[in-house]
């Protein structure tokens, strides 16, 4: 069966001969009016379908662009100072609890601690009020501890029985540090029990624990100093045990292991 043909003739009346575009007296008849032909239903439906597909494609492209642009915008805002909807994760620093004052005598130093790493030693002319003509230092350049002020081997802290009516007592080790003579870096020192990991605390200019990490910064503390720069510190031991002390600065460091505990108070 042949497909039906749809044709709609222009129902408007043909133009009057008086309105013909031919000039008067011309023998050429006016052109008949063009006839309009409506699109058949299939073509109309196809046109609408193509329009819908085009609109959907544009919408999908906008969604894809937005999904790609948003993370990049958020990422970039973190570097330019603008707030980002997603806050970056932050690490929470948990400090060790401050050691409690001594309530009873410490046990003696343990006898089964690991051996300490070997340290460099040098002998230099006396400085900073040391008695004698020379001073022996242990450690590594440029961070040293004068002889007699570095806990090594087994260290027994002199102690007396604490009394309720007296000031609080924290068992401690007095240390002197010498930094120099030609370089004065920022130095950090940590000490901790090898078995439990509990930190030993530090103090400068006080008799109670002040900080779990000792920081010595000569460029800030004595910016005009030359030669040897010295620090006097207290290392507080919370209990008898094997302790490791890690000394570090940019480009170097050293460690020492020692046994610490209670000892008899002289006299």
Spell out the alpha helix ranges (H) of 5-153. 41-80
Q: Which residue ranges make up each domain of the chain?
A: 39-90, 120-264
Pick the closest to residue 164 from 206, 103, 239, 238 (CA basis): 103
What was the pLDDT predicted at 159? 87
Residue 6 burial by Cβ neighbours in a 10 Å radius (0-12, 13-18, 19+) = exposed
What was the pLDDT predicted at 22? 41
Per-residue pLDDT tens digits of the chain, which is 267 residues long = 444 444 444 444 444 444 444 444 444 444 444 444 444 444 455 656 666 667 767 777 666 565 555 444 443 333 333 333 333 444 444 455 788 888 889 999 999 999 999 999 999 999 988 989 999 999 999 999 999 999 999 999 998 887 777 788 899 999 999 999 999 999 999 999 999 999 999 999 888 999 999 999 999 999 988 899 999 999 999 999 999 999 999 999 999 999 999 998 776
What was the pLDDT predicted at 24? 43
What was the pLDDT predicted at 49? 61
Token reading at 95: 């400090």
Residue 186 burial by Cβ neighbours in a 10 Å radius (0-12, 13-18, 19+) = middle
Identify whether the C-beta of residue 231 lies closer than 8 Å to the C-beta of residue 189. no
C-alpha span between 60 and 52 (Å, rounded): 12
DSSP code per residue over 192-205: EETTT-PEEEEESS
Pick the closest to residue 261 from 244, 243, 245 (CA basis): 243
Give the list of residues 6+ apart from residue 227 with CB closer than 8 angstroms, or none: 127, 180, 181
Residue 201 — φ and ψ, nearest 5°? Answer: -100, 170
Residue 196 burial by Cβ neighbours in a 10 Å radius (0-12, 13-18, 19+) = exposed
What was the pLDDT predicted at 80? 36
Fold of 120-264: Immunoglobulin-like (2.60.40)
Residue 143 — φ and ψ, nearest 5°? Answer: -115, 120
The residues that bridge with 154 in the sheet, in sequence order, are: 259
What was the pLDDT predicted at 237? 94
Q: How far apart are the first and last CA of the chain?
A: 130
What was the pLDDT predicted at 129? 87
The residues that bridge with 57 in the sheet, in sequence order, are: none
What was the pLDDT predicted at 265? 77
The per-residue b/e assignment along 88-125, b for 16 or more CB within 10 angstroms, e otherwise, is eeeeeeeeeeebeebeebbeebeeebeebeebeeeebe
What was the pLDDT predicted at 4? 46
What was the pLDDT predicted at 128? 87
Q: Judging by DSSP bridges, how do beta strands 252-264 and 241-249 pair with one another?
A: antiparallel
Q: What is the dihedral of CA 258, 259, 261, 265, to 10 degrees?
A: -70
- Please give the model's pTM, rounded to 2 decimal places: 0.64
Give the list of residues 6+ apart from residue 37 with CB closer than 8 angstroms, or none: 7, 8
Please, what's the largest Cα pairwise distance for the chain? 149
């Amino acid at each position: 069966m042949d497909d039906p043909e749809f044709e709609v003739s222009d129902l408007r009346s043909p133009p009057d001969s008086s309105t013909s575009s031919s000039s008067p007296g011309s023998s050429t008849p006016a052109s008949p009016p063009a006839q309009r032909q409506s699109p058949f239903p299939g073509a109309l439906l196809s046109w609408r379908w193509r329009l819908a597909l085009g609109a959907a494609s544009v919408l999908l492209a906008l969604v894809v662009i937005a999904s790609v642009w948003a993370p990049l915008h958020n990422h970039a805002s973190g570097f330019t100072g603008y707030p980002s909807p997603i806050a970056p994760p932050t690490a929470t620093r948990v400090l060790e609890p401050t050691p409690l004052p001594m309530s009873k005598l410490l046990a003696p130093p343990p006898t089964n601690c690991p051996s300490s790493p070997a340290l460099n030693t040098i002998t230099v002319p006396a400085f900073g009020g040391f008695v004698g003509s020379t001073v022996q230092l242990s450690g590594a350049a440029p961070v040293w501890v004068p002889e007699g002020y570095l806990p090594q081997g087994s260290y027994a802290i002199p102690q007396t029985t604490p009394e309720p009516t007296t000031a609080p007592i924290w068992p401690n080790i007095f240390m002197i540090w010498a930094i120099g003579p030609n370089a004065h870096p920022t130095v950090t020192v940590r000490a901790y029990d090898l078995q439990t990991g509990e930190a030993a605390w530090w103090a400068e200019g006080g008799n109670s624990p002040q900080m779990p990490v000792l920081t010595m910064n000569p460029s800030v503390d004595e910016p005009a100093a030359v030669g040897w720069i010295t620090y006097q510190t207290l290392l507080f031991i919370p209990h008898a045990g094997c302790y490791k002390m890690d000394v570090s600065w940019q480009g170097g460091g050293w460690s020492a292991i020692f046994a610490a505990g209670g000892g008899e108070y002289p006299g």
